[in-house]
C-alpha cells in the first residue's frame, strides 16, 4: 500500500460545495482586491491566533520582509535567523537592507533556542526571526527575554498549540504565516498573513502591503504590492473552522508513529517545551537515513530530505555566512528525513511506514 508524503486532497473533499460557493460569491460580488472576504478573514484569523490584528499579504515570504520592515529593520541592521529552515526565512531579510546572521538550532526540537540565539547576538542585532519548524514551537518567551523583538516565522505552524493554549502568531512581537497549498492551512494558490497585537505595527504593515499608502494618493513609504487575494480569502474562510480538527489529525498521526514503535528505530521529533505541535512535516533522524529513504522509495512510501543543504551553505548566502560554523544544523541536514504526515494518516499507514523503516535499519 503506497503512503503519500502529504494528503491535502482528502480533507478538502467534503468541503468542495462550500468552496465552490465561496468562489462563486466573489465572482458575483466582483470585488477582487481587498474586498469583504479579506477583511472578514483577517478578523477571523486574528481571533484564531489570539492576536489583535491579522493582515493578509500575497505569500509567506513577502509577509516576512514586510514584518521586518514594519518595526524599522533596515540597512546596517542584523537579523538572527536559523539556517535549518526553508530558504525563504533568510531570503526575506536582504530586501530590507539588513543582513541575516545565521544561528544554530536545538538538536531535539530542531528550532532555535535562547542559547543558540544568544551566541549570534552582536551590537547590530535588530531582531530575531524564530522559525516554528515542522509545526514545532521555538521558545519565544525565553528569546524575547534576551531583550530583542521576536518575529515568529509560523509558516509551518498553523494549528499548533503552545504553553497555556497560546497559539503561534500571538507569542512574539509580530508573526508571519504562509497559506501555500501544502501548508496546514493551505489556500488554492499563494497567500500569507502577518499577525501582531501592536496597533502601530499593524498600521505600518497595512500601509507597506499597499505601496506604502493609505489612500493611493499619498505614498509615505516605499512599500510593496502584496495583498491576499479575495478569492483565496473566501476559500480560507471556509477552511479555517476545520483547522483545529486537521491539527488534531496531525497530532494523532504523530502518536500513531509512536505507538507503532517508530521511536525504537529512529529519533522522533520532540515537541518544544509546552507545545502540542500540529506536525506540518514529520521529520525523523538516523545516521543511516539514506538507507531508510531508499527502502521507503522501494515500497512506494513518500519521503523527502527537506533541508539537506542548509541555508547558510546555499550559493546565494555563502558570502554572508563566511566563517559561520553550525554543527547541529550540519548534523540535522545530513540525518533528517520527512516521512508521510497528514490530518488523515491513520494507524495502518503508520504501521506500514514503521515496518519499512525497521526492514531498512531495525
Ligand atoms: C518556514 C517557512 N518560511 C517561509 C515560507 C515562505 O512562504 P511562501 O511560500 O508562502 O512564500 C515557507 C514556505 O514555503 C516556510 O516553510
Q: Binning pLDDT at 50, 70 and 90, where does residue 1 land?
A: confident
Contacts of 226 (CB under 8 A, 6+ apart): 57, 58, 59, 62, 66, 208, 209
In whole numbers, what is the pLDDT of the chain averaged over residues? 97
Task: Calculate the CA 205 to chain-centre distance.
Answer: 19
The pLDDT tens digits for 314-331 are 999 999 999 999 999 999
- Best residue for ligand 1 mutational test, from 56, 60, 134, 157 (most atoms within 8 Å of Cβ): 60
Cell 559561520 locates to: 324
The pLDDT tens digits for 126-147 are 999 999 999 999 999 999 999 9
What is the per-residue pLDDT for 30? 97
Is the confidence at residue 222, as pLDDT, over 90?
yes
Instruction: Give, using CA atoms, the residue closest to atom 12 of ligand 1.
Output: 155
The pLDDT tens digits for 142-163 are 999 999 999 999 999 999 999 9
Ligand 1: residues with CB < 6 A are 59-61, 85-86, 88-89, 131, 153, 155-156, 178, 180, 190, 192
Q: Ligand 1 centre and the CA of 129: distance in Å? A: 13
Nearest atom, ligand 1, residue 192 CA = 10
- 3-state secondary structure (DSSP) of residue 122: coil
What is the per-residue pLDDT for 53? 98
Contacts of 220 (CB under 8 A, 6+ apart): 207, 212, 213, 214
CA quadruple 237, 180, 49, 24: dihedral, nearest 10: -10
The pLDDT tens digits for 67-122 are 999 999 999 999 999 999 999 999 999 999 999 999 999 999 999 999 999 999 99
pTM to 2 decimals?
0.98
Cell 513577502 locates to: 62
142-169: buried (b, 16+ CB within 10 Å) or exposed (e) per residue?
ebbeeebbbbbbbbbbbbbbbeeebbbb
Helix axes 230-239, 16-29, angle to 10 degrees: 150
Nearest atom, ligand 1, residue 180 CA = 10
Is the confidence at residue 287, as pLDDT, over 90?
yes
Amino acid at each position: 500500500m503506497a503512503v503519500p508524503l502529504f494528503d491535502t486532497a482528502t480533507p478538502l473533499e467534503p468541503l468542495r460545495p462550500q468552496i465552490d460557493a465561496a468562489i462563486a460569491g466573489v465572482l458575483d460580488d466582483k470585488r477582487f482586491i481587498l474586498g469583504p472576504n479579506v477583511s472578514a478573514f483577517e478578523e477571523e484569523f486574528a481571533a484564531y491566533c489570539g492576536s489583535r490584528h491579522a493582515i493578509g499579504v500575497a505569500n509567506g515570504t513577502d509577509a516576512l520582509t514586510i514584518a521586518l520592515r514594519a518595526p524599522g529593520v533596515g540597512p546596517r541592521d542584523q537579523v538572527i535567523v536559523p539556517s535549518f529552515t526553508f530558504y525563504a526565512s533568510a531570503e526575506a531579510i536582504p530586501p530590507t537592507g539588513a543582513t541575516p546572521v545565521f544561528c544554530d538550532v536545538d538538536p531535539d526540537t530542531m528550532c532555535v533556542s535562547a542559547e543558540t540565539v544568544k551566541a549570534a547576538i552582536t551590537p547590530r542585532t535588530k531582531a530575531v526571526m524564530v522559525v516554528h519548524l515542522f509545526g514545532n514551537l521555538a521558545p519565544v518567551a525565553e528569546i524575547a527575554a534576551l531583550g530583542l523583538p521576536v518575529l515568529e516565522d509560523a509558516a509551518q505552524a498553523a494549528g499548533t498549540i503552545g504553553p497555556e493554549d497560546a497559539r503561534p502568531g500571538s507569542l512574539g512581537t509580530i508573526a508571519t504565516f504562509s497559506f501555500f497549498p501544502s501548508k496546514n492551512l493551505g489556500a488554492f494558490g499563494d497567500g500569507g498573513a502577518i499577525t501582531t497585537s501592536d496597533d502601530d505595527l499593524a498600521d505600518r504593515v497595512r500601509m507597506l502591503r499597499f505601496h506604502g499608502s493609505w489612500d493611493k494618493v499619498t505614498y509615505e513609504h516605499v512599500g510593496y504590492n502584496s495583498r491576499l487575494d479575495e478569492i483565496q480569502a473566501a476559500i480560507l474562510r471556509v477552511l479555517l473552522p476545520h483547522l483545529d480538527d486537521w491539527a488534531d489529525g496531525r497530532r494523532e498521526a504523530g502518536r500513531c508513529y509512536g505507538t507503532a514503535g517508530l521511536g525504537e528505530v529512529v529519533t522522533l521529533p520532540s515537541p518544544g517545551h509546552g507545545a502540542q505541535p500540529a506536525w506540518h512535516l514529520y521529520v525523523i533522524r538516523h545516521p543511516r537515513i539514506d538507507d531508510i529513504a531508499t527502502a521507503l522509495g522501494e515500497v512506494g512510501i513518500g519521503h523527502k530530505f527537506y533541508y539537506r543543504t542548509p541555508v547558510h551553505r546555499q550559493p546565494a548566502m555563502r558570502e554572508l555566512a563566511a566563517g559561520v560554523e553550525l554543527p547541529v544544523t550540519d548534523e540535522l541536514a545530513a540525518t533528517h528525513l520527512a516521512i508521510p504526515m497528514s490530518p488523515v494518516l491513520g494507524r495502518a499507514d503508520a504501521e506500514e511506514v514503521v515496518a519499512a523503516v525497521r526492514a531498512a535499519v531495525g
